[in-house]
Amino acid sequence: MRTNIESMWTQSLKRGEQPSYIDLRDHLMVIHRKHAGFTESCAFRCQDRLGHNSYEFLAEVVDPARHRRVLDLACGSGILLEICHRRCGPRVVLNGVDMSIEELDLARKRNPDPAIKLHQGIAQNLDHFDDGTFDVVLCHWALTLMDQVPEVLREVSRVLKPDGTFAAIVDGDPATAPGYAETHNMIYDVVKREYPNYGKVDLGDPRVRNSKDLKELAFEAFKGAQIDIESVIFEMDSSPDILAREVAGFFYASFILSTSAHHKMLADLEDHFAGPQKIDYSRFALPANRLIVRRRQLENS
Ligand SMILES: C[S@@+](CC[C@H](N)C(=O)[O-])C[C@H]1O[C@@H](n2cnc3c(N)ncnc32)[C@H](O)[C@@H]1O
């Protein structure tokens, strides 16, 4: 049976306080304990114009002819590791880090090969790894959630080789994806009835959601590197009831709703996707950015 999530973060929100990074970690841990694997359900089914989902689009950054060691930061249920393994074969050594043990359990089931190494830990402290360990660090839809992003980027910079690459999928500009802002607002409107401050306060560092600010953060952490941000839309076509369920499940905000508010949100979304003509097939468009930081060997010499 569905129960709404309560955490240190929701308690701070209720008290009208700004949640701390400890509250945020607690919140994410509680959500991922109860709903491990939820991200992939929607993200895996949304595709770009070439038919690639965002995991495949990110995995393209790894070049099996050149790269030997790859880290998936906040690997969740391990789907990106599985895709990289399939693309690159055993010559590329894969590592995943996540703070949620429940997600790592799923990642291990999906990637039973012990050569794929999984570690429990936080992105703000990658002490498991020596300086200059990885050719590539990937991060799929998780940087957006994190606090202390400069610390995360500093750690990524430390564990990357001098000519390494960091690539991340993060939230894109809502204005680029038709209908996305309406869907987002519909969910947030329901959530705000129970948590009036939700939206004013949100998960993670808002700078990651804005390409200009994200570029500045990356410039600061990876001095001298080439930094590119590419905007892309991923779409899912399905019946309005399935779209409502999948899309709601992609938004962290939906997990804190009471059961009655959750039903209302699903009904609103289903109506939205069906439209006034009550069509039985509809579309959800998800805006994303792919950040790629390419370091050059000269940078540290
Ligand atoms: C939206 S899910 C994405 C999971 C996976 N990358 C994917 O796209 O399927 C976010 C993941 O980030 C992890 N996470 C969030 N903040 C983290 C942090 N500071 N350190 C390590 N893991 C973190 C969560 O436990 C969760 O598994």
pLDDT tens for each residue of 74-107: 999 999 999 999 999 999 999 999 999 999 999 9
Whether residue 2 is contained in a domain is answered as no
Residue closest to 71 by CA, chosen among 8, 133, 23? 133
Residue-wise pLDDT for 124-154, tens only, equals 999 999 999 999 999 999 999 999 999 999 9
18 in any annotated domain: yes
pLDDT of 296 reads 81
97 CA distance to ligand 1 middle (Å) = 9
Q: Which domain holds residue 58?
A: 8-300
Q: Which atom of ligand 1 is nearest to the CA of 100?
A: 25
Mutate to test the pocket of ligand 1, among 22, 25, 28 (most ligand atoms within 8 A of CB): 28
- pLDDT tens by residue, 237-251: 999 999 999 999 899
Average pLDDT over residues 203-228: 96
Task: Please give the Cα distance from 296 to 301 (Å, whole number).
Answer: 10
For residue 300, is pLDDT > 90? no
How many Å apart are CA 1 and CA 16, to the nearest integer?
A: 29
Tens digit of each residue's pLDDT (9 = 90 or more) over 187-196: 999 999 999 9
**From atom 4 of ligand 1, which residue's Cα is the shortest distance away?**
76
User: 98: CA distance to ligand 1 center in Å?
Assistant: 6
Answer yes or no: is 107 within a domain.
Answer: yes
Show the ligand 1 pocket: residues with CB < 6 angstroms: 28, 32, 39-40, 43, 74-77, 79, 98-100, 103, 122-124, 140-142, 145-146
pLDDT given at position 299: 45
Q: Give the residue whose CA is nearest to atom 20 of ligand 1.
A: 122
| End-to-end Cα spacing for the chain | 58
Please say if the pLDDT value at position 284 is more than 50: yes
Q: 290 - beta bridge partners?
A: 169, 230
Higher pLDDT, 209 or 4: 209
In a domain, 196, yes or no: yes
- Indicate if the pLDDT at residue 59 is higher than 80: yes
Q: Whose CA is closest to 190, among 39, 6, 27, 4? A: 4
Contacts of 93 (CB under 8 A, 6+ apart): 68, 69, 70, 115, 117
Quote the pLDDT of residue 28: 94
- Which atom of ligand 1 sits closest to the CA of residue 148? 19
Whether 181 is covered by a domain: the verdict is yes
**pLDDT digits 0-9 by tens, 150-167:** 999 999 999 999 999 999
Atom of ligand 1 nearest to the CA of 54: 8
Name the pairing type of β-strands 93-98 and 69-73: parallel
Nearest CA to ligand 1 atom 10: 142
pTM: 0.95
pLDDT of residue 38: 79
Identify which of 194, 200, 264, 146 has the alpha carbon closest to the alpha carbon of residue 6: 194
pLDDT tens string 4-45 = 888 999 999 999 999 999 999 999 999 999 888 877 888 999
Cα(41) to centroid(ligand 1), Å: 14
**If pLDDT is split at 50, 70 and 90, which confidence band does 119 have?**
very high
pLDDT band at 1; cut points 50, 70, 90: low
Q: Is residue 235 part of a domain?
A: yes
Domain count, the chain: 1
Q: Is residue 1 part of a domain?
A: no
Nearest CA owner, ligand 1 atom 26: 76
Best mutation site among 53, 84, 100 for ligand 1 pocket (most ligand atoms within 8 Å of CB) = 100
- Looking at residue 78, what is its pLDDT? 97
- 117-120 and 160-171 beta bridge pairing: unpaired
User: Residue 103 belongs to a domain with what CATH number?
Assistant: 3.40.50.150
Residue 3 included in any domain = no
Mean pLDDT of the chain: 94
pLDDT band at 66 (very low <50, low <70, confident <90, very high): very high
Residue 21 CA to ligand 1 centre (angstroms) = 14
Average pLDDT over residues 217-231: 96
